């Protein structure tokens, strides 16, 4: 059977299985891998070996990173660290620019915390700021949501871009550096749209709650942490991973020695995130040992699901590599630029069709992995840009089949029409902005 027909059929299966049949992505990806191998005439034993190899290889590279990142996120949530970061940024930016403060807060919080959880945690602060400033809650909702979303699809160790980097064998530090450079303007694009459209729309909250309330600093909680304690578990790993990537970038000749060896070790993503976990434990030192143990167990349960989906994506990608799709694609001088567009388009179709950005990113990375050579995307910059193009596609667009859409709308008292005009449109502009930036990076540096 023609490999493109097989690819088309398995993508349709993943979409239908996820949306209509409500099959969990873990199973839909594994079944799709079995289907693809069977339709192409691969022997049963070879199919199983290929799936196992892809699953294991993916988990060996990022399993611990996902687990450590999730632990950091849980500790930030349970110790009220996310609210401390939010209020700190609010003090820096000022009440008059409080929507921008929430946008920045969302951007920072979503690096270790899933965007859904981040929005839920910070939604009460959104409402307090809306009352204090007199601005519609829609402004704050979209500003926060788009800030969370930008780092969610572009900046490791968020599971989506982390998994894509692993599947495409991209340099994680480079993905992080370029991801931050893309995610910041993408986040601000969401803020600008929030500021524009939010002043023209209202939520139910605006109609029933009076203006002029006070904004409490940090909500009363059993645990409070200092500003430095809240930021360190997040910033230290990012700095270490980025530093390792910069020092080891081709063309930078720093030689070897104890300093480079130390940076190479502590800048390894697994070690860097483990150091972040140590700072997270310090942040939760006021909690009992039993409570901290329960937090870790809760985090690992959440991480386990993410790890399994990521591994299934790796298994699917391994079978696609065996399909030799690359051999059927003609190569020409324009294909390098086109390859970035292909990655964006596939991710956008999958995201819009089935709702989950993480599933769209992992699936698209698996599809793109065997195509990198034919598309001329084999350099470090090209692989990193492919990861980011996939991320841009995977945020285009968030609508009614996306759980995040409902989290944003329901926690902000927006009806569906208002949410579509504000949140969904914002993610469209964000995705296009991300694509343009990635194309620019690839054009000048690729």
Q: How far apart are CA 403 and CA 148, in angstroms?
A: 14
pLDDT for the residue numbered 127: 83
pLDDT for the residue numbered 328: 57
**Quick check: 103 pLDDT over 90?**
yes
pLDDT for the residue numbered 249: 63
The pLDDT mean for the chain works out to 83
pLDDT for the residue numbered 18: 75
User: How many other C-beta atoms are found inside a 10 Å radius of the C-beta of residue 265?
Assistant: 12
- The boundaries of the domain holding residue 209 are 3-445
User: How many other C-beta atoms are found inside a 10 Å radius of the C-beta of residue 341?
Assistant: 14
pLDDT for the residue numbered 335: 53
pLDDT for the residue numbered 144: 95
Q: What is the tens place of the pLDDT at every residue in 199-219?
A: 777 655 565 444 444 444 444
Q: What is the tens place of the pLDDT at every residue in 287-346?
A: 888 999 999 999 888 788 878 877 887 787 778 777 665 555 554 545 556 889 989 998
Q: DSSP characters for 23-84? A: --HHHHHHHHHHHHHHHTT--HHHHHHHHHHHHHHHHHHHHHHHHHHHHHHHHHHHTTHHHH
- Count: domains in the chain: 1
Angle at 28 between CA 24 and CA 30, to 5 degrees: 120
pLDDT for the residue numbered 332: 53
């Amino acid at each position: 059977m023609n490999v493109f027909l097989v690819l088309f059929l398995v993508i349709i299966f993943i979409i239908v299985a996820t949306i209509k049949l409500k099959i969990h992505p873990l199973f839909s990806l594994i079944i799709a891998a079995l289907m693809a191998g069977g339709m192409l005439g691969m022997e049963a034993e070879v199919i199983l070996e290929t799936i196992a190899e892809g699953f294991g290889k993916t988990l060996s590279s990022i399993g611990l990173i996902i687990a450590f990142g999730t632990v950091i996120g849980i500790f930030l949530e349970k110790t009220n660290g996310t609210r401390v970061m939010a209020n700190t940024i609010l003090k820096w930016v000022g009440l008059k620019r409080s929507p921008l403060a929430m946008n920045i807060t969302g951007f920072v919080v979503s690096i270790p915390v899933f965007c859904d959880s981040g929005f839920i945690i910070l939604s009460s602060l959104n409402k307090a700021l809306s009352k204090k400033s007199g601005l519609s809650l829609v402004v704050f909702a979209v500003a926060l949501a788009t800030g969370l979303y930008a780092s969610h699809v572009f900046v490791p160790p968020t599971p989506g871009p982390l998994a894509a980097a692993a599947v495409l064998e991209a340099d994680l530090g480079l993905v992080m550096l370029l991801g931050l450079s893309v995610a910041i303007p993408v986040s601000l694009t969401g803020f600008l749209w929030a500021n524009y459209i939010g002043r023209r729309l209202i939520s139910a909250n605006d109609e029933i709650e009076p203006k002029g309330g006070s904004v409490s600093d940090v909500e009363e909680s059993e645990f409070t942490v200092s500003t430095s304690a809240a930021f360190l578990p997040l910033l230290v790993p990012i700095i270490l991973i980025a530093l390792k990537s910069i020092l080891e970038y081709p063309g930078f000749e720093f030689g070897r020695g104890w300093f480079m060896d130390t940076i190479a070790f502590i800048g390894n993503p697994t070690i860097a995130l483990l150091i972040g976990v140590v700072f997270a434990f310090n942040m939760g030192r006021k909690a009992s040992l039993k409570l901290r143990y329960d937090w870790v167990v809760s985090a690992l349960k959440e991480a386990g699901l993410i790890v399994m989906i990521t591994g299934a994506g790796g298994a699917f990608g391994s079978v696609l590599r065996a399909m030799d799709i690359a051999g059927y694609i003609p190569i020409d001088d324009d294909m390098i630029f086109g390859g970035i567009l292909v990655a964006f388009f596939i991710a956008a179709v999958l995201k819009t069709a089935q709702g989950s950005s993480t599933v769209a990113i992992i699936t698209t990375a698996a599809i793109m992995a065997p195509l990198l050579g034919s598309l001329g995307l084999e350099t470090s910059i090209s692989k990193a840009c492919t990861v980011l193009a996939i991320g841009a596609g995977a945020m285009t667009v968030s609508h009614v089949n996306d759980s995040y859409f409902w989290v944003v709308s329901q926690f902000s008292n927006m009806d569906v029409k208002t949410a579509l005009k504000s949140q969904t449109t914002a993610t469209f502009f964000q995705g296009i902005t991300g694509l343009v930036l990635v194309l620019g990076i690839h054009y000048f540096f690729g």
